[in-house]
Amino acid sequence: MKNVYFDNAATTQMRDEVITSITEVMRKNYGNASSSHSFGRSSKSLIEQSRKTIAQYLNVSAGEIVFTAGGTEADNLVLRSAVRDLGVNHVITSKIEHHAVLHTIEQLEKEYGILVSYVNITAHGDVDYKHLETLIQTENKTLVSLMHINNEIGNILDIKRVANLCKANDALFHTDAVQSIGHYKMDLQELQIDFLAASAHKFHGPKGVGFTFIRKNSGLKPLIFGGEQERGLRAGTESVHNIIGMEVALKSAYANMNSEADSIKALKHYFIYKVVKDIPKVTFNGQSGDLEKSTYTLVNICLPVPPKKAAMLLFQLDLKGIACSKGSACQSGSSQNSHVLTEILSDTDLQKPSIRFSFSVYNTKEEVDYVIDVLKAFIE
């Protein structure tokens, strides 16, 4: 039995150089970054260097990068403070956002009575930009929260179009960029985004650390209270080794971005070719089968399998050593259908199994062949 890891949208394997850097920092730089002695100053220096590195890649100032425990905390920080502190009383989002955004907005609606508008989504999972333009033309203080790349179906938002639309209508723009940072270059001087969330473990860094970009003079206030870490925006002793690990992971991502993107694109193209050839009735969810309209890192396929047999598919794949996801990993413990697929698939297709396969530079064509053979054998 082979072991094939095709669940990179859920989390990624850490690069060797990331593990090395984390280990070295844990061994040598164990001082509390808030301490005034040399051990503390050493840790503080490392953190600030990481902040500068990340800021340079995004073309922002170091003071606009705030370290968090990951994307979920970053989303919560922005959304809650926007309503609580910035006077936002209207949030525009979509029903296919990550639950870190959707559940936070639902809670804010209960707590503060804000108006929540959901932009229409096409049958292929794209945002209806004309509808967004209608929703945004309001007298309310508005924040738009739309993810850059959908974590389940891979659709890519026209982020520049949305940012310009927000700017033209005096609305704030927050994007969950967890699936894109480390895979796509973003210039936040060119893109008029106010807030952005990222997570290290999606680009071969450690779990438990991420960052949020908060544009200067936004007025945002902390979600977590305590000490004055992160310029008062995020209390708590900094996880120095994780922050350094994230910096090293992002450095490697940028250094190898073009070559690795080409490699993974070729792998996705091969997967699409093989699955269509060997399983003719397969369909692709969202735009995931389109190399231009979706991220190169994943596909989401709907398989021609009856409902009773479908229940055994993930179990069988796991027995064969294949790691993948029904919907997203965040949903894996749930018996419910993916909320993303529920919005875009017919009732008939929802009865069939949909599987997300997501790739990294560590995957091979031989692994694709193995997975397609296993799928074909299961269906037949």
Q: Which residues are the active-site residues?
A: 330
User: Torsion angle of alpha carbons 268, 273, 278, 282, nearest 10°?
Assistant: 70
Other Cβ atoms closer than 10 A to 7: 21
Write the CA distances from 23 to 17, 208, 211, integer angstroms: 10, 16, 21
**Phi and psi (nearest 5°) for 191?**
-90, 125
What does the longest C-alpha to C-alpha distance in the chain come to? 67
State the pairing for strand pair 65-68/115-118: unpaired
Q: d(Cα 322, Cα 44) in Å, to the nearest integer? A: 42
Helix ranges, the chain (H): 16-28, 38-58, 71-85, 99-112, 129-136, 159-168, 240-255, 257-278, 307-310, 313-319, 339-344, 347-350, 365-379
Residues 2 and 321: beta-carbon distance below 8 Å: yes
CA distance 161 to 166: 9
